[in-house]
Amino acid sequence: MESQDDTATNSLLQFDPLESAVDPTFWHALSKKKIEVYRLSDAQQDISAQYQVPAPHPTRNAAAATAAAATEASARAPKNVPAARLSFSARSFDDVSVAAATASCTSPGVLRNTNTIEEFKQLDKTNALKEVAERIWADMNSGAAISNPSLLTRFLLVTFADLKKYRFYYWFAFPALLPEEPIRLSRAVPMADVYSGAQISALRESWAAKGGALPFFLLSETNEALGVHELREWHNVMQDGKPVTVGFVDPSSQPANPGWPLRNFLILLRVRWGVTAARVICFRESTLPRDPCSIICDVVLPGAASPRGAACPKAVGWEKNSSGKLGPRMADLGPLMDPAQLADTAVDLNLKLMRWRIMPSLQLETITATRCLLLGSGTLGCYVARALLAWGVRNITFVDNGRVSFSNPVRQPLFRFEDCLDGGKPKAAAAASGLKGVFPGVNAVGVDLNIPMPGHAAATPDRTCADADRLRELIEAHDAVFLLTDSRESRWLPTVIAASLGKIVINSALGFDTFLVMRHGIVTGAHEPSASLAPVTSTADITSLGCYYCNDVVAPADSLSDRTLDQQCTVTRPGLSAIASATAVELLVSILNHPLRARAPAPLPSASNNPSAPTPSPLGLVPHQIRGFLTHFSNLLITGPAYDRCTACSAVVLRMYREEGAAFVRRVVEDPGVLEEVTGLRAMREEADAQDVDWDVEEGDDFEI
Amino acid sequence: MVEQTAAVGTLSQQQFTCEAASLVEKAKALGEPWTLVEAADQPAYLKRLVSVRSAVRPATDELPVSDGVVDVEEEPNDGATLHSDPLSEITLEVHAIYSKTWQCPVLYFSAWSANTGTPVSLDGLKNAVRDGLPDLDLTARTAYHMPFIAQQDHPVLGTPFYSIHPCETAMLMAEMLSNTDAADGRYLLLWLSLVGTIFHPIALVHSSYFN
Ligand SMILES: [Zn+2]
């Protein structure tokens, strides 16, 4: 076992490089230092880092691993061996004298924090490394490294802290001075092959007795024991003619290679004491009683020693990044430091909480992914947006053509007083920005647009066509459309477009103390003719649910221009809008969570009689219409079929819109009578007496006509 | 009577401190890195770092292309550097902190890339663990009343951590304690093995702790 292996004598000694391990507290501390202490200074700062013997890992068996490594012809390291780490944390900024923990070694280092990414890139890296190497060399020559051997492990860290993006650019170097000639390895064996159990136990105890943090040391040997001595005891310990035996705390787990800290130690041995051959104990023992993990490397240091006081040898030691390239690394602390990202995660987990605790079938991802178009950015629009946000909806587009007025902010929660000044900000944009103020993670957009309305001729027919096309584009780009405008006729075109595109439509309108929230049916081919307008008693009768206009026997027309101001600005009980908006959003969520989505069957009227009755789907019923009565603090669920003469969703209207597009819209805008003509309503009206319930009472001043 | 029922499944601060100290002793003997973190004016809490060998490569730590490439002068290659395949590892940091409000320990945790310190999200952690952590969104989770995870500032450090809400802890522990022989003085161990299941196959405490 002790026999010299001649081929091995020739092998180059390779050192396991150190890998930096930075924990997030280091970056927190660096940010704080940068803001409170360093500011714009790029002066070199003293910091420190820690390394220790490797933690035990399951496959670790020094004897077996060394044997396996020896049979591998390749010079590459065995796979799946943990890296030798130098660790950085908030404590790296503490005074080195208090930083020492037991069973770990402290390395001193130099931090060079640059102020811009350009400075970081342009810093002369070669020279920076050389400066640190020169300090190590000086400490060897002065003897400082003998009384304080941790100086041999001095490192360099170059950083740039981008505190706006919470990114940290950095590059470590662990400078190693190069010998005159490469150092050779005679052999590397597990320590247990050379020393007895008693000797190894004595070594552990002796090292612990020296404080358990001595990074480099000398060894004395008897048959029973190995003793640890500080470097300054060289002349007492080493005897002329006897082999030199030294040790160092080795963070490496490699079975046949020593760790990086040994490099400068060997240079010191060569320079200070002229050592040409040494036995090195790569000390990897923990304080726990376990099998010895240390290895022994017998090394040869050929070539002439640089005389003391000579110029500093060349040095290497820049760390490679995760791709194995020589280059800087980047840490992204955004998830821990960026308030917007923190809010995002917190909101997401809060919603998941509902799923985890209450309802595993909740389709959170579907809800989040639903793109919502809010037509109208007044009271209803503001409250609907807030409720959508609470459900995790991340894409919300506001459409309005008004400006924020002084009466708005108290009722419309996305606006503030400042939004009303100087004539008022455009409502849609102000609502989008208000929503982002609540939650920056939302993609909120405001679109200033006039929705073409039957009976309201625009300035030019071209204008009408352009607006109609723009509205179509918007509806196409969203999954759900909320009708929240302040007039009945402004809902007609979006109803037609959404019906022809098969989009989900949620419609909400307010009276003084009553509200309507309804979903539009999804049109499947031509409507089955529905003979009467009477409320249905069985959902089996309904093949398609009606839209907002299905109960009408007159076409929507200009309902605003002939009214007095007080009719236009219909007053509602202030709490009503929040109730209706929340109901509208919950209706959307119930639709999204139903397997049939917008085609979910509506409940029978009787279903709402008993609120404690079980419901077919986890979120409950998916009603067609909810009519709320604040006078009685009660809601009524109504189910109404699609009407084959509907001015908005009937087959004939949809066909004409499909065929003529914006031209059809222009005709209707100029003359709403067209709708009554094509649907046959006019003919019918002469016979039937309309028993219309007037629901088109609106909140008021949001849309300027 | 009512008060006594409420106290079942809870733990006093004193018991927590006492059991935590003995857990650390046990861990030391087993060579596992549980430590007691004591800060001025703050109650002590238990801490453990777990090295997770990532099954997937974490996000690169190279500079984004837009930030430009930093050149370095080629280092002299003297052949003395061992080339090893860099392993990607994630550090999982777990804290057990006593909650006076809930009268029980609360689990706080965070995870980051062992090299850079870049935080790893819950999903990132789940994907990184070989064979996967249990699916936090599984139906089974609700069926077994698994606790839920929130993001909160660490009560001592003040930085954001994930935490497992303690609202069900007492109820679950009451059940666990009544089903366990020789449960005396083992509240903390039993609780850690219970909440630790969210990290399966990583074990926070293994069977040797109970010997
Ligand atoms: Zn209709």
Tracing tokens 């292996």 back to the chain, one arrives at A5
Does A692 have pLDDT greater than 90?
Answer: no
On the question of a cis peptide bond just before residue A413, with omega within 30 degrees of 0, the verdict is no
- Average pLDDT along chain A: 85
Q: A184-312, what's its fold?
A: Cytidine Deaminase; domain 2 (3.40.140)
- Average pLDDT along chain B: 80
**A17 interaction partners in chain B (CB closer than 8 Å):** 81-82, 84
What three-state secondary structure class fits A446? strand
Per the CB < 8 A criterion, the answer to whether B162 and B150 are in contact is yes
CB-based contact, B159 to chain A, within 8 Å: yes
d(CA A279, CA A289): 25
What are the respective helix, strand and coil percentages of chain B, to the nearest 5?
A: 35, 20, 45
Nearest to A355 among B64, B86, B137 (CB): B137
pLDDT of residue A696: 42
B86-125 residues touching A, CB cutoff 8 A: 86-89, 91, 110, 112-119, 121
Does A44 have pLDDT greater than 50?
Answer: yes
pLDDT, one tens digit per residue, over A565-610 is 333 456 789 999 999 999 999 999 999 999 999 999 888 766 666 7
Q: Where are the beta strands (DSSP E) in chain B?
A: 34-37, 45-53, 89-99, 104-113, 149-153, 160-164
Lowest mean pLDDT among A164-168, A368-372, A678-682: A678-682
ipTM: 0.86
Question: CATH second-level architecture of A13-178+317-332?
Answer: 3-Layer(aba) Sandwich (3.40)
Q: How far is the CA of A552 from the centre of ligand 1 (A)?
A: 9
**B62 interaction partners in chain A (CB closer than 8 Å):** 321-323, 325, 327, 329-330
pLDDT of residue A562: 45
What is the rounded average pLDDT of the residues A300-317? 84
Interchain pair B110, A320: CB under 8 A: no
| The pairing of beta strand A395-400 with beta strand A443-448 | parallel
CB-based contact, B78 to chain A, within 8 Å: yes
pLDDT, one tens digit per residue, over A83-132 is 899 999 998 998 765 545 567 899 999 999 999 999 998 899 999 999 99
CB-based contact, B73 to chain A, within 8 Å: yes
What is the rounded average pLDDT of the residues A471-488? 95
Q: Give the up-direction half-sphere exposure of residue B190: CA atoms within 13 A in the CB hemisphere.
A: 22
Closest-CA distance of chain B to residue A343, Å? 9
**Contacts of residue B192, Cβ cutoff 8 Å, sequence gap at least 6:** B23, B96, B204, B205
Closest-CA distance of chain A to residue B119, Å? 6
| Domains recognised in chain B with CATH numbers | 13-56+87-205 (3.30.1460.50)
pLDDT of residue A611: 76
Total residue length of chain B: 211
d(CA A266, CA A183): 9
**Domain boundaries in chain A?**
13-178+317-332, 184-312, 345-608+615-654
Does B147 have pLDDT greater than 90?
Answer: no
Assigned CATH for A345-608+615-654: 3.40.50.720
What is the rounded average pLDDT of the residues A158-170? 93
pLDDT band at A406 (very low <50, low <70, confident <90, very high): very high
| Topology alike, domains A13-178+317-332 and A345-608+615-654 | no
CB-based contact, A56 to chain B, within 8 Å: yes
pLDDT band at A345 (very low <50, low <70, confident <90, very high): confident
Beta bridge partners of A514: A629
d(CA A275, CA A280): 12
The DSSP output letter for B77 is: -
A interface mutation test: which of B36, B84, B122, B172 has the most A CBs within 10 A? B84
Per the CB < 8 A criterion, the answer to whether A555 and A681 are in contact is yes
pLDDT of residue B38: 86
pLDDT of residue B172: 83
Higher pLDDT, A558 or A71: A558
A120-149 residues touching B, CB cutoff 8 A: 120-121, 125-126
Active site annotation includes B167: yes
Nearest to A182 among B29, B33, B79 (CB): B79
What three-state secondary structure class fits A339? helix
CA torsion, ordered A5, A8, A13, A19, to nearest 10 deg: -100
Lowest mean pLDDT among A177-181, A321-325, A403-407, A585-589: A321-325
d(CA A66, CA A55): 18
Minimal Cα distance from A56: which residue of B? B31
pLDDT, one tens digit per residue, over A432-463 is 999 999 999 999 999 999 999 998 877 788 88
**Contacts of residue A649, Cβ cutoff 8 Å, sequence gap at least 6:** A495, A496, A499, A520, A521, A523, A527, A546, A547, A549, A550, A642
Sign of torsion over alpha carbons A417, A513, A453, A474: positive
d(CA A191, CA A170): 37
Closest-CA distance of chain A to residue B153, Å? 10
d(CA B50, CA B32): 10
**A55 interaction partners in chain B (CB closer than 8 Å):** 33, 51
**B57 interaction partners in chain A (CB closer than 8 Å):** 322
Lowest mean pLDDT among A51-60, A120-129, A297-306: A51-60
pLDDT of residue A99: 44
pLDDT of residue A283: 94
d(CA A77, CA A458): 78
CB-based contact, A17 to chain B, within 8 Å: yes
Closest-CA distance of chain A to residue B31, Å? 6
Phi, psi values for residue B5, rounded to 5°? -60, -40
**Contacts of residue A38, Cβ cutoff 8 Å, sequence gap at least 6:** A45, A113
